[in-house]
Structure 1
Amino acid sequence: MPCSPRLPATRAQVERVLRCVAPAPAPLFLPAIYEQKAWFIDQTPSAIARDPALLTRALLAEQEAIGADALAVGVDVYNVEAEAVGCEVAFYEGKDASIPGITRHILRPGDDLSAAAIPHPGRAGRMPVNLEAARNVRRALGGEHWIRGAISGPFSLAVALVGAEDLFIACLEQPEWVHQCLDYAARVIRAYATGYVDAGVELIVFDSQASPQLLSPAMYEEFVLPVTRDLIAWAGTQGVRDVPLVIGGNTTAIAELLVATGGNNLLCDFTADYDTWAGVARRAGRALRRNLSPHLLETGTPDAIYAAAREEIARGATLPGFIMGTAVIPFGTPLENVLAVKQACRDAGAGAAQASG
């Protein structure tokens, strides 16, 4: 279905939503596009993740094709900091569209972290690739557009450094070392985030390894909440007022804990309980992004996707700070499927305008 043209929301419009000033006539449209960026320029995720010129082209092509209300700079968003301090990442050549992934961890529980290296964002690994692309896109789009540099959350980076099984066992057997590891991860993340701030863009934190499907709410509160709260508070000292915190999966059980992190744009993924999350967000005055499922977006018809998006938008019509989003768009998802969500946002806004006029 054709999507009516509309410029992305201005910074002031975005901030009104994030500050929960009032329910927006048309919700912000924030699809999660990472490896799919490559598809817009007939490249692969591995290619654009290693080349700042290709990543810049992909980001600008994404904006031209989708016209969402924000851009996120990043492809394989959980690998960059880990690779910069020594983890090995597998990339794929030719037309292989597989997502790059960690193949070797560098830490073992109990390792001495007192002298562990902190990367320089201008030199370490692929940090310069993303930072150069961020600067390029900021120059191309100007200061009004909301551009977020993707950074890992502390627990997800710790998983990349140590390995999931070893880290989860260490949470039970060596909790003090896990706190040290998370502190180290946070210092690495801050170094990278400083590069994004210097590039003139904001931040978006990804920490899906801390989802309740993997980590109990009690362990989240003990290990993850303090270091995440400190990271987001630090971002505020750098002038970054709006920090989205992205944890996928059914996060209903930790909704109140996620509010306590200080993130002001939280995620209610497609498997989470919307009614519970909406109540939490309303009481706390936090913006809330509701996602559609990646399976629907990849395999559904545009009409079915449009109907699902309109249903979610109707549920969020009275919630200040409601945002319409998607789970991560799989590589090769038809463009018309993503634009169906955008059209649902625009039509909701047009209907609200007619009703108020």
Structure 2
Amino acid sequence: MTQPKLTFLLERLQTLQNLANWPNANVPVTALVTEYIPELCKVPYDYLFRDNAEAMAECTLLVQDYLKLDILTANMDVYNFEAEAMGAKIKFFPDHCPDFDRSDYFIKDSSDLDKIRFGGLNQGRFPYLIQYCKAYKHYTGVDTFPIFSAPWTLAGNLYGIENLIMATIEEPEFVHEFLRRIVDDYHVPMFGALNDAVPGFAEMDFVDAFASVPMVNVSIVNEFIRPYLQRELDKLNMPGIRLMDTAFFGTAMLEGKERESFEDFIIWSNGRFLCIDPDAASLGADYARAVATQHLTPLQIGISATYLEFESIDKIVALVRDYVLRAKSGPTPAIFFFNNISPCTAQEKIQAAVQAVKIYGAPGADENTPYLLPKFRSFEDFLKHKLKNNPEGYTFEWMKQSAYSYLL
């Protein structure tokens, strides 16, 4: 493969690098996108999530380019990768995301913990992940690295989250051993092997949806979640590697010292204060800005996927404007985040919302800055343009499996 001459990603990365000049920098636009990629590209889910890693890399980058995002997090079915490689049964579907077979949990009791052992990068879809990273690097010239499931949430999927929470009360030593096995016997050797196979490893990226309140309380966070994330760092013993563990909600459900403790955990595990809806909606953007300022850490704020999908463009733009203006009114950088955009969200709404971030996230923009609705461009028109102007060198082989095949 030859290295591309130019990619759209270089300009987006410059926006992130300019945060070093804050407040003389734009607020970056970031998003989590999972189902939206196959839906927008009109490709079967199982083809992208299981069968063709290069196609997934192409489609991910095309969606990021089309939506004008500075960072797009394409989690794929992130919660399944380690479990599948251990031997857990994962079901694949053409019309929605893969998922565990939850009728038969992989771990049923302590006698099953020996199943938690890294067997090498030829297991499960590790070859798919490595190919994805290589294709991404080829098309952009930029390193990327897979995101995995954090120890607590992985345990919840292997054993059942309700079972795991009950076990913290009834069998705490079992839960500690369960999490220790995930860290020591799986994640640490896994990251070591991936570091040799995929260049550019600089960060342990996890998602941790089950670490949200009220699924857990602060006591569980302090005894079972945070210590095993720290153990990941200690056991891996690779100086310079950062931890990034995301997907926390529920700050608004806590008060006093418990809220402060949860805020501290979010900042420790993210390197910034993450406060998105519903917490941002309940507590307000001023609260989020105050916490980030108090800890002198960046603030990542964002609206919910349901608001983006179901509210009018006028209301979406108004809320984005409010969040952005309040978030950027402090001494540390602000980042805007669209959380897991729904596959049914109208393209016009996303384009209008992204435009609002870019307008009001610019240095000097305020509530009196006029908003100009962007000229709508369909994904089909975007694809027609990319087929003729393709500096990244995409193959577009995936389009043969797509409802857009007539464009070839």
The TM tier, using the shorter chain, reads 0.7 to 0.9
Deviation at 1:128, TM superposition (A): 2.1
Deviation at 1:338, TM superposition (A): 2.0
Q: Deviation digits for residues 78-98 of structure 1, max 9, x if unmatched?
A: 1111111121111113xx2x2
Aligned to 2:324: 313
Aligned to 2:137: 138
More strand by share: 1
Alpha-carbon distance in structure 2 between the residues aligned to 1:265 and 1:90:
35
Q: Deviation digits for residues 263-319 of structure 1, max 9, x if unmatched?
A: 314421201134444333223333221121111212233333222111100111123
Aligned to 2:99: 101
Contact 1:313 1:324 (8 Å CA) reproduced: yes
Q: Tell me the number of residue pairs that the alignment of Structure 1 and Structure 2 aligns.
A: 340
Larger radius of gyration between Structure 1 and Structure 2: 2
Aligned to 1:258: 266
Alpha-carbon distance in structure 1 between the residues aligned to 2:141 and 2:129:
18
Could you say what secondary structure the match of 1:352 adopts? coil
Aligned to 2:375: none
CA RMSD between the two structures: 2.9
Could you say what secondary structure the match of 1:149 adopts? coil
5+ residue gaps, structure 2: 1-7, 253-258, 369-408
Deviation at 1:194, TM superposition (A): 4.5
The reply to whether residue 270 of structure 1 matches residue 277 of structure 2 is yes
Contact 2:31 2:337 (8 Å CA) reproduced: yes
State the AA in 1 paired with 2:324: I
Contact 1:294 1:326 (8 Å CA) reproduced: yes
State the AA in 2 paired with 1:269: I
Deviation at 1:351, TM superposition (A): 5.7
State the AA in 1 paired with 2:99: G
State the AA in 2 paired with 1:100: P
Residues 306 and 24 (structure 1), Cα distance of their counterparts in 2 relative to 1, 3 Å cut: farther
Residues 215 and 349 (structure 1), Cα distance of their counterparts in 2 relative to 1, 3 Å cut: closer
Deviation at 1:210, TM superposition (A): 1.0
State the AA in 2 paired with 1:256: D
Residues 285 and 351 (structure 1), Cα distance of their counterparts in 2 relative to 1, 3 Å cut: closer
Q: Deviation digits for residues 314-356 of structure 1, max 9, x if unmatched?
A: 111123121100121112322222222321122124462799x
Residues 27 and 267 (structure 1), Cα distance of their counterparts in 2 relative to 1, 3 Å cut: same
Mapping 1:1-357, distance limit 5 Å: 8-10=11-13, 13-14=15-16, 17=19, 22-23=22-23, 25-50=25-50, 51-93=52-94, 96=95, 98-103=96-101, 104-111=104-111, 113=113, 116-120=116-120, 122-143=121-142, 147=144, 149-187=146-184, 188-194=186-192, 197=195, 198-200=198-200, 202-232=203-233, 237=238, 239-241=240-242, 243-252=243-252, 253=259, 254-261=262-269, 263-272=270-279, 273=283, 274-319=285-330, 320-350=332-362, 352=364
Q: Deviation digits for residues 9-54 of structure 1, max 9, x if unmatched?
A: 326x52564x7x6335321111111121212321133321102122
State the AA in 2 paired with 1:215: V
State the AA in 2 paired with 1:332: C
Higher mean C-alpha deviation, range 264-273 or range 244-253: 244-253
Contact 1:151 1:193 (8 Å CA) reproduced: no
Alpha-carbon distance in structure 2 between the residues aligned to 1:234 and 1:72:
26
Deviation at 1:137, TM superposition (A): 0.8
Contact 2:299 2:327 (8 Å CA) reproduced: no
Alpha-carbon distance in structure 2 between the residues aligned to 1:110 and 1:151:
23
Contact 2:31 2:72 (8 Å CA) reproduced: no
Structure 1 length-normalised TM: 0.84
State the AA in 2 paired with 1:137: Y
Q: Give the % identical residues.
A: 22
Residues 33 and 332 (structure 1), Cα distance of their counterparts in 2 relative to 1, 3 Å cut: same
Aligned to 2:405: none
Alpha-carbon distance in structure 2 between the residues aligned to 1:167 and 1:54:
36
State the AA in 2 paired with 1:330: S
Could you say what secondary structure the match of 1:305 adopts? helix
State the AA in 1 paired with 2:276: D
5+ residue gaps, structure 1: none
Could you say what secondary structure the match of 1:23 adopts? coil
Could you say what secondary structure the match of 2:12 adopts? coil
Residues 349 and 315 (structure 1), Cα distance of their counterparts in 2 relative to 1, 3 Å cut: closer
Residues 350 and 117 (structure 1), Cα distance of their counterparts in 2 relative to 1, 3 Å cut: closer
Residues 29 and 290 (structure 1), Cα distance of their counterparts in 2 relative to 1, 3 Å cut: same
Contact 2:328 2:361 (8 Å CA) reproduced: no
Aligned to 2:376: none
Alpha-carbon distance in structure 2 between the residues aligned to 1:22 and 1:74:
29
Indicate the structure whose relative CO is greater, using CA pairs within 8 Å and at least 6 residues apart: 1
Residues 275 and 353 (structure 1), Cα distance of their counterparts in 2 relative to 1, 3 Å cut: closer
Deviation at 1:57, TM superposition (A): 2.1
